[in-house]
Amino acid sequence: MKHSRFEFDGAEVLVVGASRAGIGAAIARAFQDAGARVAITGAEPEAAPEDRTRFAYTQLDVTDGETVRDFAARRERLDVLVNCAAITARGEEMAPDFFAHVVNVNLHGTFRMAEAFHAQLKAAKGVLVNIASMYATFGSPKNPAYGASKAAVVQLTKSLAIAWAGDGIRVNAVAPGFVVTQQSARSRTDPAHVAAVNLRTPMGRWGQPEDIAGPVLFLASDAAAFMTGTCLAIDGGYSVG
> Can you give the binding site for ligand NAD, defined by CB under 6 A?
17-20, 22-24, 42-44, 60-63, 84-87, 105, 109, 131, 133, 176, 178-179, 181-184
Minimum gap (Å) between residue 223 Cβ and ligand NAD:
22
Query: CA-CA distance, 132 to 152, in Å (whole number)?
Result: 9
| Whether residue 146 lies in the annotated active site | yes
Q: Which of 136, 118, 137 is nearest to 127 (CA)?
A: 118
Contacts of 1 (CB under 8 A, 6+ apart): 30, 210, 213, 214
Minimum gap (Å) between residue 110 Cβ and ligand NAD:
8
Smaller CB separation from ligand NAD, 8 or 71: 71
Fill in the amino acid letter for 129: V
Minimum gap (Å) between residue 10 Cβ and ligand NAD:
25
Contacts of 105 (CB under 8 A, 6+ apart): 62, 63, 85, 86, 87, 149
For the chain, the C-alpha Rg in angstroms (whole number) is 17
Q: Which of 118, 117, 158 is nearest to 136 (CA)?
A: 158
Identified catalytic residue from 57, 135, 146, 238: 146
Smaller CB separation from ligand NAD, 9 or 97: 97
Please give the residue whose beta carbon sits closest to ligand NAD in the complex: 22
Minimum gap (Å) between residue 22 Cβ and ligand NAD:
2
Smaller CB separation from ligand NAD, 165 or 195: 195
> Is the CA virtual torsion 67, 69, 74, 76 positive or negative?
positive
Q: Which of 47, 62, 55, 139 is nearest to 103 (CA)?
A: 62
Give ∠ CA 132-25-136 in degrees, rounded to 5: 10
Minimum gap (Å) between residue 153 Cβ and ligand NAD:
8
Smaller CB separation from ligand NAD, 45 or 166: 45
Helix (H, G, I), strand (E, B), or coil: what is residue 9? Answer: coil
Smaller CB separation from ligand NAD, 105 or 232: 105
Catalytic residue numbers read 146
